[in-house]
A = this chain, B = another copy of it.
Amino acid sequence: MKTVKDHAVIPAKTVERLALYRRVLLDLAKEGTRDVFSHQLAALSNNSPAQVRRDLMFLDFPGGSPRNGYSVDGLAARISETLDSGATRDIALVGVGNLGRAILDYLRARQPALRVTATFDVDQSKAGREIAGCPCYHIDVMKEVVQSRGVTLGVITVPAEKAQDVAERMVDAGIRGILNFAPIPLRLPSHVFTDRLDITMTLEKIAYFASRV
């Protein structure tokens, strides 16, 4: 029996794992697997079977039988409905340095539901050119471009000192969610969802735990 309402908010950690399950399921589908048990999905995403089943409760998915487990295709589709609502999201990327270009390449091959529509930089010489098949504008025209194309997500790959300013311009342009690679957290109005991927900090954490036994 399903008790979770359609529009119930799913906790962030669960959303992350659902995105991971989807990727695993798509891989399984590609190699022809039809059905999967929670313990298999758990092994492939290393966590516990109980965690997997608990996460799937949020999907309102009629799925799993004790005989066969879950339908790979059905479950993947249900996750996509829940996370994406099927719509493609447009992304603006600010800061066309090495990291910015890497992320462009990274995303181009993947998930067509997430697409970098435009890139921006302070460097005038980059404006007007195409970077990895994606037009690059000067940052001063960001608001117009973002609004005319209905971009709702932003990625920040500029140096730490510029990140807060860029983020505020993004919010002003109407962007609702920001992924920040700068090593400093952004202070933004609470209606904007932000997350940070801090490479140095993560390495420092790994260094700490790798030394104690």
Contact = CB atoms under 8 A, between A and B. Distances in A.
Interface of A: 7, 9-10, 12, 15-16, 19-20, 23-24, 43, 45-46, 83-85, 89, 91, 97-99, 101-103, 105-107, 110-111, 113-114, 152-153, 155, 176-179, 183-185, 187, 191-195, 197-213
B204 A83 contact: yes
B45 A185 contact: yes
Contact of A197 (B114, B178, B197): B197
Contact of A207 (B84, B192, B197, B198): B84
Contact of A200 (B97, B105, B111): B111
- Which 5 interchain pairs have the tightest Cβ spacing? A177-B210, A98-B102, A176-B210, A99-B102, A177-B206
A2 to B, nearest CB: 19
A22 to B, nearest CB: 8
A124 B201 CA distance: 32
B195 A210 contact: no
Contacts of A101: 98, 102
Given A23-B183, A84-B208, A102-B102, 20 more contacts: A7-B212, A10-B208, A12-B205, A15-B204, A16-B201, A24-B184, A83-B208, A84-B207, A91-B203, A97-B105, A99-B103, A99-B105, A99-B106, A106-B199, A152-B211, A153-B206, A153-B207, A155-B203, A177-B206, A195-B202
